[in-house]
Structure 1
């Protein structure tokens, strides 16, 4: 850890931030700015096939948790992102039974069902075709996370309308 748990000139993280999350944050924050941008996040995240997460995935993840719209996340925002990444990874790993770093169409449909979504087989095929640039009919973990974020963004306006 870095002394008092904060960078010089940067405010302390909330006491509710898990020390392990703080340690990950400080490891990822290469320029020691107290903020993580998408490039720093990308350098830290590797999918199951040994490649860094896509820039699109990292930009979406930063954007999802960047509450002050700076293009970066602080340690408190990172803790929220960290929790989501672990949830998505848990679901993904549950269906990536051969540990190949990708899941196929039927497995993706099952993963979405576990998450509470009931998508038609045609829609699941569409999601894979939209994500799979190599036409392997599979989706990698970073593509899975991008898809989950996009679904969540589409779902939010509907939930807000229902609440009214």
Structure 2
């Protein structure tokens, strides 16, 4: 598979150097003092990936991805959220991702989760709905208007059957879906324009068209 190319958007993935580790590249005990913290983390991530690559194909599907990410939150990530994330990094549309693609997805997802948790309610994978504009700007680097936030809430929160029980909060899965949608729109818009003038209207129209 082809590794996603670097870009100049705020996606933290694009700030990462692409390097893949195999078992032959580091000592078996994993205690080589020459490794940096970043390299040790990559080794651990490689081991995590291999543990869930049950058939040894060098690729994982969305169900295996859900298992790998299960330790990141109290309940498993929703499959539809993971499918949208995989689509971003599955360059050949095979329905699976290799380690390089998984590493990029992992770094991107972790950056979203860390930002989310700096705002989340105590003992819940949720944030207060009135914090949405602030949190989205924190993770995307873009000033999201109140009008856009209203549309996002209607698309990702209000239509859920349990909305009436927590209508003032946004769940982590919903937030990840929102961020991913915004990033996709930004990347598409940047490919068409040299400035962000008119982006709000483009984002609103894109959101409505995607969810007809």
TM above 0.5, yes or no, is: yes
Larger radius of gyration: 2
CA separation in 2, counterparts of 1:89 and 1:30?
Answer: 27
User: Structure 1 stretches (4+) deviating beyond 6 angstroms?
Assistant: none
Q: Which of 179, 185, 192 does residue 148 from structure 1 map onto?
A: 179
Trace 1:45-60 onto structure 2 (pairs within 5 A).
Answer: 45-46=69-70, 48=73, 50-60=74-84
Q: Which of 161, 170, 173 does residue 139 from structure 1 map onto?
A: 170
TM value normalised by structure 2: 0.64
Q: Which moved more, 1:50-59 or 1:128-137?
A: 128-137
Instruction: Describe the SS at the equivalent of 2:127.
Output: strand
Q: Which of 64, 77, 80 does residue 40 from structure 1 map onto?
A: 64
Q: Which of 111, 126, 145 does residue 151 from structure 2 map onto?
A: 126
The answer (yes or no) to whether the contact 2:48–2:68 under 8 Å persists in 1 is no
Q: Which of 130, 139, 142 does residue 117 from structure 1 map onto?
A: 142
TM value normalised by structure 1: 0.80
Deviation at 1:162, TM superposition (A): 1.7
* Counterpart position of 1:86: 110
1:158 aligns with 2:189: yes
Q: Which of 66, 87, 90 does residue 63 from structure 1 map onto?
A: 87
CA separation in 2, counterparts of 1:34 and 1:130?
Answer: 35
Deviation at 1:53, TM superposition (A): 0.9
* Counterpart position of 2:198: none
CA separation in 1, counterparts of 2:90 and 2:179?
Answer: 17
Query: Cα RMSD between the aligned structures?
Result: 2.4
How many pairs does the alignment contain?
A: 152
Structure 2 unaligned runs (5+)? Answer: 1-21, 26-38, 196-212
Deviation at 1:3, TM superposition (A): 5.7
